[in-house]
Amino acid sequence: MKKQVTLLKEYTKGLWEINPVFKQVLGMCPTLAVTVSAINGIAMALATTFVLVLSNLIISLIRKLIPPQVRIASYIVIIATFVTIADLVMKAQFPELSKALGPFIPLIVVNCLILGRAEAFASKNTPIRALMDSLGNGTGFLIVLFIIGGIREIIGSGTLLGFQIMPQVFEPWLIMILPAGAFLTLGLLMGLANFYVESKKSKERESIIQKYRSSKQVQLTEPGV
């Protein structure tokens, strides 16, 4: 029997532990493509979260009705429905954002993050857990997209969310808002994230070794006394 984790844990694990971009390396296309500015990143992440949460909720609710042979096809139909809703709402309410994001709103349908969470989590867990899990993953996705979009916008055009941040004398690095900048930023950020995890792990390992050594010394010295 798997150990039951608290609902809060289902939410927080998506933020870092299984962060969609850094840890699962899912949903790379939108991560790279739309993060020219922070606002685009936020809009994309919100649209993705909307689809992720609602489709996972529905999938979790009807998970016992779907025959396993056709489950992937049924998931895709459910996801496509919500993507269509998101796409039409964006087109009607935020035409400029919708134009800036181009084909990437309809492309949420093939974002592996959504199908991945549906297959790995929502199809095996209760609706409330699936809800927390998808909210957590959505938030994790939002954070990453905001960070990358923010970095690229600050360095590439000197603004954040449209406000001038860098001093006027700062010459924006055009490369950051071009495709190459997206690859470089994400690559470096991922490397940094790995570096952080790695150093934390080695510290833990060292402390365990230290503990083991000190306990061994005690054992070694004790019989001799």
Which residues of the shown chain bind another protein in the complex (CB under 8 A)? 25, 28-30, 32-33, 73, 76-77, 80-81, 83-84, 87-88, 103, 106-107, 109-112, 115, 175, 178-184, 186-188, 190-192, 194-195, 198
Nearest alpha carbon to residue 146 among 66, 48, 37, 54: 37
Angle at 118 between CA 116 and CA 120, to 5 degrees: 65
Nearer to another protein, 5 or 29 (CB): 29
Nearer to another protein, 15 or 28 (CB): 28
Dihedral angle, C-alpha 104, 110, 114, 120, nearest 10 °:
-160
3-state secondary structure of 15: coil
CB of 103 to another protein, least distance (A): 4
Nearer to another protein, 30 or 156 (CB): 30
Nearest alpha carbon to residue 155 among 34, 43, 36: 36
Angle at 103 between CA 150 and CA 78, to 5 degrees: 105
CB of 72 to another protein, least distance (A): 8
CB of 160 to another protein, least distance (A): 22
Q: How is 174-206 classified by DSSP, letter by letter?
A: HHHHSHHHHHHHHHHHHHHHHHHHHHHHHHHHH
CB of 80 to another protein, least distance (A): 4
CB of 25 to another protein, least distance (A): 5
Nearer to another protein, 12 or 24 (CB): 24
Nearer to another protein, 32 or 127 (CB): 32
